[in-house]
Amino acid sequence: MLSICCVSARPSGRATLSLKLIAVVLCTSLAACGVTRDQLDAVGAFGKSASTLANSVKDAYAQADQNEVDLRLAQQIASVSTSDPAVILRAYGVRRFDLSAKKIKGRLAAAEALSAYGVALATLLDSKTQDSDFSDAATSLTAAIKGLPTPLLNDAGITGDEVAGVGAVVVAFGKIALDIRRREVIEQVVPAAEPVVTKICLLFGRDFDVNRSSVGGIVKSEMIKSIDDIKRVFTAKDVTNGRDADSGATMQNRAVLLPLYEKLWNIKTKSLAAFADINDAAQGCAKASKNLAAVVKDPKVTLDDIIDFAKKAQAAFDAVKSLSGSKAG
């Protein structure tokens, strides 16, 4: 990944000896920084997985927003297909998914910040990166972190000092020569970014926890109620005269409601699976973020949490893509 200690030239005699001595000294000084090849690999794996999780989260928020549209449409169709008052009232009582325009904007900004962090780590580790490349990546990361809106910071529990700490360290190292000090940058940037990154991941985990009264939990409860309401249309009695509800018994209504039922069931199954995977990956991200900060300081620290996060981030990405595909069809 990094070729700092490699000597490509092949001079002879004293020149060769001199270059070898210089290489030994340089490699010794880099080793003193405490960041080994395994640690560099860990940083790279985390950076890639962080970007993957960020992309999954952005897509999942968009899918949840579309879920709300689908549910409201399903409730309206069900309400005009029955005389059941419970179903009719439900058409006007679908709970919003806690995704107001203001809140969604903050969540997407947090996802962008996590993605920018992953890109910055990848840029830093690339041996072909020039000072200007990392400076650009550092600037993007700093802007993303400082651009997090106050409501989002409050929801995540991120303090102003934590935001300022990331910006100060990244900007400072974005202006130095990278060829010799990449590893030192890692040792400084990762611990400084850890509190913000960890809290962003935990926030995503809470949002997509299907057992909490948040995005994931509301989607779950409303999906189940909507599916149940469609079933009620087929079994409800007309409250006026006790006969089978004509609207639920006719072939015309069944032709509309059965495909709708199938669609909602498919969305519910894949949505809950995707949200569970995102919650799992986000929790893994928080653990891996703390683990990474420890790893860059101590090469003896296990990489298990980072490896686990990489697997979960990919699983979440695949699940969200599957959900998107099911809705497109």
The radius of gyration computed from the CA coordinates of the chain, to the nearest angstrom, equals: 26
Give me the mean pLDDT over the 205-230 stretch. Answer: 84
Q: Is 26 a domain residue? A: no
Give per-residue pLDDT as tens, 151-205: 999 999 999 999 998 888 877 776 665 666 777 888 888 999 999 999 999 999 9
- pLDDT > 70 in the chain, percent: 72
Give per-residue pLDDT as tens, 13-36: 444 333 333 333 333 333 334 467
Query: Which residue has better confidence, 61 or 203?
Result: 203
**Which are the contacts of 72, defined by CB distance < 8 A and separation ≥ 6?**
91, 94
For position 125, what pLDDT does the model report? 82
Q: Compute CA distances 122 → 26, 127, 180, whole Å.
A: 23, 10, 17
For position 154, what pLDDT does the model report? 93
Give me the mean pLDDT over the 45-72 stretch. Answer: 88
Q: Is 75 a domain residue? A: yes
**Which are the contacts of 309, defined by CB distance < 8 A and separation ≥ 6?**
46, 49, 281, 284, 285, 287, 288
- Determine contact, residues 214/220, Cβ cutoff 8 Å: no
Give per-residue pLDDT as tens, 254-273: 677 788 888 888 888 888 89
- Cβ burial, residue 295 (10 Å; 0-12/13-18/19+): buried
Question: How far is residue 135's CA from residue 251's CA, in Å, rounded to a whole number?
Answer: 65
Query: What total number of domains does the chain contain?
Result: 1
Q: Does the pLDDT value for residue 251 go beyond 50?
A: yes
Q: Does the pLDDT value for residue 212 go beyond 70?
A: yes
Please list the residues that pair with 237 across neighbouring strands: 244
Q: Is 103 a domain residue? A: yes
Give per-residue pLDDT as tens, 112-156: 999 999 998 888 887 777 777 777 888 898 899 989 999 999 999
Q: Compute CA distances 215 → 82, 103, 108, whole Å.
A: 29, 11, 14
For position 278, what pLDDT does the model report? 95
The one-letter code for the residue type at 188 is Q
Q: Is 184 a domain residue? A: yes
> Across the chain, what does the average pLDDT equal?
77
Query: Which residue has better confidence, 231 or 50?
Result: 50
Q: Is 168 a domain residue? A: yes
Q: Is 23 a domain residue? A: no
Look at residue 244 and give its three-state secondary structure: strand
Tell me how long the chain is. Answer: 329
Helices 101-125 + 131-146 axis angle, to 10: 160
For position 276, what pLDDT does the model report? 93
Q: Does the pLDDT value for residue 96 go beyond 80?
A: no
- Domain limits at 72? 36-328
